[in-house]
Amino acid sequence: MSKPGFHGPLERVNDCCWRIPKSYKKGMRVDGLIYASEAMLDQIKGDQAPEQVANVAFLPGIQHASLAMPDIHWGYGFCIGGVCATDPEEGGVISPGGVGYDINCGVRLVRSNLDYQEVKPHLVELVDRLFRNVPAGVGRGGKYKFNRRELAQLMQLGPACLQDRGLTTAGDLDHTEAGGCLAGAVPEAVSDRAMERGSGQCGTLGSGNHFLEVQVVDAIFDDVAAAAMGLHKDMVCVMIHSGSRGLGYQVCDDALKQLRGVPEKYGIELPDRQLACAPIESPEGEQYLGAMCAAANYAWCNRQLLMAQARDVFAEVFGRSWQSLQMNLVYDVAHNIAKLETHALGGRRRRVWVHRKGATRAFPPHHKEVPDVYQKIGQPVLIPGDMGRASWVLVGQAGSMEQTFGTACHGAGRKMSRTQAVRQAKGRRIDQELAARGVVARARGWRGLAEEQPDAYKDVNTVVDVVHHANLAAKVARMRPIGVIKG
């Protein structure tokens, strides 16, 4: 009986990249490419994620390669960290498995003018108030309620529609990927059940790996880029990680049910049913894309409202308005999304649908979609780590456009399943272990912290080293956690 894991070929391309040749499986249209260091290979080959990279290479219209970032681990259909681009002109498909259940799960970083020594005496109070005031946990609703018409507006316009309520500023929109709104959203394509689930969850954190974290900048690696983002050593920041909550989950679930049998209808042969897909230019493909874009816009609203609540808590604790505290949004990135983008392929510019499943856009300097303030340095790339080590800010580099459709990793990547993590944490107090590292942690229960303990994740520092050395994104600043709330 063979050991579980991947037993196919992994050929060295360079120190940061490994190839699964398309000859590995009959039906692969392109090679698979995995970005990783040699030291990571045993871990990567330990599960079926590389097999999923090979399977994605079967998708019609796929361009260049089926890609995976160094935070790769097993997922639904696509691996987490999986990236591919499909061309509608070549019968390209859209696959919900290449976006994920938590549509537009993403990360935003908020700076402040507070230094660590100023926050330290108030840290426990600050984290406790954040935990009380920011709804977190499975199925929890929040203080913001939207009727059906308002919900449709959120899904159509994203956080721009919150400006009239004083919950969004023009600066917030300018510092959000895509301005916080994907064109092509069709709220009518979202089911009643999804609408019902999303009606009371906008502005809530959720559970699992979602978090709101108070961090301190502990190292600067690029003075110019850090200055452009308003970051300096010892500054206190807030990082928020959440997505489209129950609404996005339901959109994905609905789509997977609707797409059963659709590949066969269009003569598409797939090695894994979890890669269910539809041609982009088909009624089924258009239906999913309309709903996916709507859920993505909802997710940006969710993170916007989470940030608004965090700003309010800081204002209460420190007795100054959030504007006085200069709690400005550095950037917001999506990492479970499909987007129509222009990329150079085969010597010409082509419009392709880039699937990023647990992967972050990393556009370089002077790209037209990078905000004006970051044109000279490139798009900020936010890479959260585990609760006990670090998170990173990088900037996109030209190599990302040449190699990965403008993409870098999205986090550390799990090395333990949640079940394994809970088993390994038995008899331990993860909150006390974090406290010993200087991190104040609050969660709805022991299990949430056990599942997300630092040991469950790869070391984010080694993951970031790969994308830095591969010229996908360059290091700017490292932050260490000092307070965290989880569902």
Is 410 noted as a catalytic residue in this protein? yes
φ, ψ (nearest 5 deg) of residue 352: -130, 155
* Residue 338 host element (H or E): strand 336-345
Handedness of CA 398, 399, 405, 409 (dihedral sign): negative
Q: Which residues contact 457 (CB under 8 A, 6 or more apart)?
A: 385, 386, 411, 412, 413, 414, 415, 416
Tokens at 297, concatenated? 């816009």
Which 3 state secondary structure label does DSSP give 265?
helix
List of residues 6+ apart from 192 with CB closer than 8 A: none
The C-alpha atoms of residue 448 and residue 224 are separated, in whole angstroms, by: 38
Of 175, 355, 410, 468, the catalytic one is: 410
Task: Read off the DSSP letter of residue 410.
Answer: -
d(CA 245, CA 106) in angstroms, rounded, equals 12
List C-alpha distances in Å: 116 to 119, 144, 217, 327, 339.
5, 31, 9, 15, 38
The 8 Å CB, 24+ separation contacts for 281-288 are: 281/88, 284/258, 284/259, 285/93, 285/94, 287/186, 287/189, 287/255, 287/258, 288/94, 288/96, 288/189, 288/255, 288/258, 288/259
Helix or strand run (H / E) with residue 11: strand 11-14
Please, is 50 exposed, middle or buried when counting C-beta atoms within 10 Å of its C-beta (0-12, 13-18, 19+)?
buried
DSSP 3-state assignment of 294?
helix
d(CA 105, CA 278): 23
The answer to whether 253 and 38 are in contact (CB under 8 A) is no
At residue 267, φ and ψ (nearest 5 deg) are 70, 30
276 in Cβ contact with 327 (< 8 Å): no
Q: Give me the active site residues, please.
A: 410
